[in-house]
Structure 1
Amino acid sequence: MRRGGVVGGLVLVVVALLAVVAPWVTDPAGLDVTRVDGPRLGAPSGEYWLGTDENGRSVLLLTWWGARVSLLVGVAAAVLSVGIGTLVGLVAAMAGGWVSAVLMRLTDFFLVLPSLVLAIALSTVLERGVGTIVLAIGLTSWPGAARLVRAQTLAVAARPYVERAHALGGGTVHVVVRHVLPGVVPLVVVNTTLAVGTAIVAESTLAFLGLGDPTAVSWGAMLRTASSTGAVTAGAWWYLVPPGLAIAGVVLAVTVCGRALETVLDPRLREPR
């Protein structure tokens, strides 16, 4: 598992670096449909390694630049989602009483509703843009994290050293910061890592449905454009395969990396030697 995690981590580092350096090592003019002269849906060749799209743009360049939006949305939405879930879970576990009951009923309400449907509704109502996609995904996918954090917080709060801290006069804020959070943070880190893959898939789905940023290049938007411009009927597999493989590869790398990180942070999951 750890070897797979290392490989997954290396894949993510490479993809992230390529996304960051894209504006400096590639020509953004290649994304402008008015400034390209490649063949329409041209097959892979020496000039265009992954072929061209319906406007003559390089599919390799589109896939490269698509990583920027997909990774940005995935990380930002995951951080927002887990952040909200962590806050709700901590407050519900430490406050108890009616506060916990209200927060858990609110969590249950969002948990039974399809998060994708809620994200579609928010994306439809709000102005189109990357920020809207981040909000739509983050505000609809936090309930699972809230329940996990609440359960972990209750387990940590019941440990003897936390009870001793209370007995010695430690306030709630002191106990949470010094004793509870160190036991909860590993779960939050792992959950955030795994949530990145879910957010990338959600962003690709929203973009494929036409609810993403119309001015941004993303893997989901590429799949939508390929589907709507006849790439499938024309047999232009080179337009569909790269963004699809990019989504699958990055999500797989995130998942493997997250699982490996979980075994490192939780000794109970380590395989006996």
Structure 2
Amino acid sequence: MDKQKWKHYLTVFTNNNLGMIGIAILLFYIFIALFAPLISPYDPTARVGAPFLSPNSNFLLGTNDVGQDILSELIHGTRISILIGIIAAFLSVAIGCLIGIIAGYYGGKIDNFLMRVVDLVLVIPFLPLMILLAAFIGPSFWNIIFVISVLTWAGPARVIRSQVLTVKTKGYVEAARSIGSKVSTILSKHILPGVVPIALSQFVLAASQAILIEASLSFLGLGDPFNKSWGTVLYYAQARSAFLTDAWLWWILPPGILITVLVIGFAFTGYSMEEILDPRLRKGRKSNE
């Protein structure tokens, strides 16, 4: 894709209020994740106070049942939650791109077979399969990423395939095929550049989905016990009966808010990117306004 088109996309995106809000939220979370050791007031694994302390000047969000600072847990948990979301989304979209490009470009029996596989993955009950698979392979950082990637690639694959079907009918692609260009050349120089923008928007939306799935699995006790994420914090809060005391205000509510705001940031960014790629969405929004 030429630089002029990327410049146009950037200009449209910077004029999108929701997109800029989404980017600001994501940058804020990324800053916390990168500099967690410097921002965190305490070591999240150390006992620094009495158990179940309410918020005070020393512990802004109080302490948990063993006296660990909850704010420090959440700051370090930002790094784990975002890292899992980004890696899982990358693998999910990469698998989806591979399947979607093969199916869309070759068509015929290959397309029919791969799309039936996609349909099968999409119709299988998601929640029971997610819990069963996570429980079967065991809790760990990479196992959670594997579960998320395996269960979420089908959606991006369908979207990428639709884009490939559109791109391969373009005149320059048909001209390249007519002069006998290699398939690898056509895919790398013509098909892939037309797929990248869609893949980026799918990645952003997949990341938000991955963070929600990780939080859900960790809350159910299927997360990595050696790396505290926001979902893990919620799991221990629920296991220690925080819902039955006032501790839910500082032990359960903050991680829930953090997850919600981050997902909103991803959603705003992803939807804005989709509007850039499909001008009809922008026209529809303006007409509704």
TM-score w.r.t. length of structure 2: 0.88
Deviation at 1:97, TM superposition (A): 2.3
CA contact (8 A) 1:118 1:136 kept: no
Give the residue type in structure 1 aligned to 2:79.
Answer: R
User: Once the 2 structures are TM-superposed, how far is the Cα of residue 27 of structure 1 from its aligned partner?
Assistant: 6.1
1:132-151 residue CA offsets vs partner (Å, 9 max, x unmatched): 00000001111111111111
Q: Which amino acid aligns with 2:278?
A: D
Q: 1:104 aligns with which of 73, 98, 115?
A: 115
Residue 116 of structure 1: aligned partner: 127
Is 1:143 aligned to 2:158, yes or no? no
For 1:179 and 1:109, the matched residues in 2 are separated by 30
The runs of at least 4 aligned residues of structure 1 exceeding 6 Å deviation read: none
Counterparts of 2:274 and 2:109, CA distance in 1:
33
Deviates more, 1:247-256 or 1:126-135: 126-135
Contact 1:41 1:231 in 2 (8 A): no
Deviates most, 120-129 or 48-57: 120-129
Aligned counterpart in structure 2 of residue 17 of structure 1, from 31, 35, 42: 31
Gaps of 5+ in 1: none
Task: Count residues with an aligned counterpart.
Answer: 270
> Contact conserved, 1:208 with 1:220, CA < 8 A, in 2?
yes
2 CA distance for matches of 1:126 and 1:17?
Answer: 33
Distance in structure 2 (CA, Å) of the matches to 1:186 and 1:172:
21
Bigger Cα displacement from structure 2, 56-65 vs 256-265: 256-265
How far apart are 1:153 and its partner, in Å? 0.5
The one-letter code matched in structure 2 to 1:168 is: I
Q: Note the residue ranges of structure 2 that are not aligned, 5 or more in a row.
A: 1-14
Indicate the residue corresponding to 1:263 in structure 2: 275
For 2:190 and 2:282, locate their aligned partners in 1 and report how far apart those are by CA, in whole Å: 24
**TM-score (normalised: structure 1):** 0.93
Structure-2 separation of matches of 1:26 and 1:246: 16
Whether the 8 Å CA contact 1:116–1:202 is kept in 2: the answer is no
CA distance in 1, matches of 2:41, 2:57: 18
Counterparts of 2:173 and 2:106, CA distance in 1: 15
**Which amino acid in the other structure matches residue 270 of structure 1?**
R
Amino acid across the alignment from 1:259: Y
